Amino acid sequence: MRTQVAIAGAGPAGLLLSHLLRLRGIDSVVLESRDRAYVERRQRAGMLEQGTVDVLRGSGVGERLDREGLTHHGLELRFGGAGHRIPLSELTGGRTVTIYAQTEIVKDLIAARPAAGGEIHFETEVLSVDPSAPSVTYRRDGRVETLECDVIAGCDGFHGVCRPAVPDTRLHEREFPFAWLGILADVPPSTDELIYAYSERGFALHSLRSPKISRLYLQVDPAEDVAAWPDERIWSELRARFATDDGWELRDGPILEKSITPMRSFVAEPMRHDRLFLAGDAAHIVPPTGAKGLNLAISDVIVLAEALGAWYDSGTTELLDAYSDTCLRRVWRAEHFSYWMTTLLHKDPRQDAFGHRLQLSHLEYVAASKAAATTLAENYVGAAPTL
Ligand code: APR
Ligand code: PHB
């Protein structure tokens, strides 16, 4: 088999890249180790920057997003028993963010490929890649075969095989002494806007998926076993962490799904070696507090699609040569913001009383100062300059 661009991984990065390349008349083949039902069901992020929405809409996969996406103009920081609204749109010249689950984007992108196209191969595991004589070795139905190509896009996530094929990478990593227990619940959200809550008991986040489905998260110990969290314990802990002095109430209901995700910051530099280009979680991870992971994955492949378009059109390598640096500027801005939001809002078990008081003072400042709130808003909506 031969194609122009071989893409490892059918997450949002790989699928959108294949879609953007097709619009430019460039052929690609996506190889995905899991089956289609699995990638369409996997619960992940859900907050889209306006730039992300614009690209999905502009490339013809925004129809359901426009119908079902929930536009947000602000968020709430909650601490000390009270809520403090950050008016995101007001502070960023009218920009908004949109709630639309990553799983829905994945479904829309899979549905958008041409009926006759064999561009996505599920249950096809990439075994190794050769960045210099560009090709991908994969296993499908028990047979090992090779896909020859001009370029390889490593969109195979944090645990994929592409990143190790970049020699001499500089790895930057930080683990946090906490994880998120996330739930999807069959209950109308108790809030219109997201609530990021800091409490003595730890962080909690109230997000949503639709007018009928809530998505909530609790800070837990990374060693925590999800089996230790029956539904009633989860709801009672959420109620305690979201409690306000004015008696705000959290609606509860059947929990459809629960899982624990570790939190880490991670960047691999550079994001390119020879004909291999890394994109999305394969190259970088952010803790989810800043809602940046999905937006970064999408912004990487926009840069890559444009650079490949220029190369195929005119032979220029300028944009391809700049790919890693271009992406990493935005990646590091998001890394800093995500780290900042995470340390601002979580209860760090290593923290002493002094550190704890500093954190509260910082929260009060962000809630009270227009300059500090603007910093949060600009980064959250994806409008921060990247120099
Ligand atoms: N061969 C083929 N496919 C693979 C292999 C392999 N060896 N290893 C991993 N994959 C697949 C995974 O099954 C997954 O479907 O690569 C895909 C990577 O997708 P994601 O992990 O979703 O990564 P990405 O597309 O970069 O999207 C990043 O996902 O983790 C969230 O918050 C993050 O929203 C962000 C987004
Ligand atoms: C989500 O809705 O899943 C979500 C929203 C905001 C975050 C993280 C996750 O910061």
Rounded CA separation 69/46 (Å): 10
Residue type, 174: R
258 is catalytic: no
Per-residue confidence (pLDDT) for residue 113, from 0 to 100: 87
Task: Tell me the CA–centroid distance for residue 9 and ligand 1, in Å.
Answer: 6
DSSP state of 3: -
Global pTM reads: 0.97
Tell which atom from ligand 1 comes closest to the C-alpha of 15. Answer: 25
Exposed, middle or buried, 297 (CB in 10 Å: 0-12/13-18/19+)? buried
* Best of 281, 292, 298 for a ligand 1 pocket test (most atoms within 8 Å of beta carbon): 281
Which residue is it, tokens 């028993």?
81
Report pLDDT for 386.
Answer: 83
- Using DSSP's 3-state secondary structure scheme, residue 321 falls into helix
Of the listed 138, 217, 323, 380, which one is catalytic? Answer: 380
Scan for tokens 């103009």, then name that residue: 73
Q: Which amino acid makes up residue 245?
A: D
**Atom 2 in ligand 2: residue holding the nearest Cα:** 46
- DSSP β-bridge partners for residue 7: 30, 153
Residues at CB less than 6 angstroms from ligand 2: 45-47, 194, 207, 215, 288-289, 291
Q: How many CB atoms lie within 10 A of CB 338?
A: 23
| Ligand 2: nearest atom to the Cα of 99 | 2
Given the residues 12, 19, 72, 198, select the one marked as catalytic. Answer: 72
How far is C-alpha 153 from the geometric centre of its chain's CA atoms? Answer: 18
* N-to-C CA span, the chain: 42
Among 196, 198, 217, 323, the one annotated catalytic: 196
380 catalytic residue (yes or no): yes
Collapsing DSSP to helix, strand or coil, 93 comes out as coil
Of 238, 233, 30, 56, nearest to 138 by C-alpha is 30
Instruction: Show the low-confidence residues of the chain (pLDDT under 70).
Output: 115-118, 387
> Can 217 be counted among the known catalytic residues?
no
Is 339 annotated as catalytic?
no
Nearest in space to 2 (alpha carbons), one of 127, 115, 125, 133? 133
Q: Which of 258, 273, 292, 346 is labelled catalytic? A: 292
- Measured in Å, residue 25 CA sits from the centre of ligand 2 at 34
Q: Which ligand is nearest to the CA of 376?
A: 2
* pLDDT for 246: 95
Per the annotation, the verdict on 288 as an active-site residue is yes
Q: Which amino acid is at 193?
A: E
* CB-CB contact of 256 with 185 (8 Å): yes
Cα(49) to centroid(ligand 2), Å: 12
Find all residues with CB under 8 Å of 325, minimum gap 6, and list them.
270
